[in-house]
Structure 1
Amino acid sequence: MTLPSDRHYTVELHASAERVPQIQRILAAHLRYWNLELHIPPVCRGVAELLTNVHRHIGPDARCVVELRWSGRHLTASVADQGPRLPKLRSAGGGGLSTVAALSDSWGTCGTADGKVIWFTRRVEETRKVRLTSQAPLRSVPDAKGQPAVPVEPPADPGAGATADGPAPAASPAVSFA
């Protein structure tokens, strides 16, 4: 399935600490749907850092907007809030923007009429599809002492059974590599 290269998702929320894991799950689902599985951990972590900063510096009742945009070549995540003060990059390893900077190819901030937007981007290479096929188990090969080794079984069919995304595909599953 080929998806259009310009994809967009936006959600508005209160910046409470309880909402961060929920937003991460929602973003992960969108990235999975867009076949961008390799970007789930860094994007979710970066957005979590930005939401934590909103919660910490503006307050838990602060409204903010989280946005994902995929142009086909770049994936951009942003968090907009109503805080007037632009953040500053502190020393590396301190979390917040230093973590976002480490997880991204570029990042930035900009003031708006009603607050600010903090964004980061990641380059997205075109994914290649590789077909996995089932093979017969390997024959036993004697170990160094001449004893028969335990046969190696192929991995279980990852397409068997239902998944969170729905029923398993009828054909062999495809795996994306970036």
Structure 2
Amino acid sequence: MYKKNSGFTLIELVIVIVILGILAVTAAPKFINFSDDAYKAKNQGFFGAFSSAIKMAEAKARVSGIPPHGRLTIGGTKLKFYNYWPECKAGHNIHCSDDNEPEDGKLSALECNQVWDALMQEPNTEYNVRGDGASDNDWTCWFRLKDEPSIGFNYRATERLLELVDPST
């Protein structure tokens, strides 16, 4: 009447669970890329803030009664507007003079950063910036994350365009 037990011992089960845990810890990061999601979320946050700042600057320009290509001081910086969108810091740069003529819409990286600084009220530390002052490209300012250069946004005041750039979408 001796009955033989069948099944696994507690030690065997613990060893299997430990091995599965080790495999999960080493394999999960290869299947789940959290950093890409974090970069996208970071970019979307900055894009939303920049977009809101553009719209607030436009509203302030319209309420202030300036002409569409006028000038207005925002955050201590005198900005030149193109069709009520901030184009550049007035009177300080190659492509942005302080006369009454609309500008060519071609800005340097410095000029793009000056618009950022005035609108966001803090220096740009997250993005590499490129302007199109030396070329005939469609966009004025390219903002690309320093950590992930394929993600960012484009801004062009002369055409009132603000475009999110994310190659995975």
TM-score (norm 2): 0.27
Which one has the largest radius of gyration? 2
Relative to its length, the structure with more helix (as a share) is 2
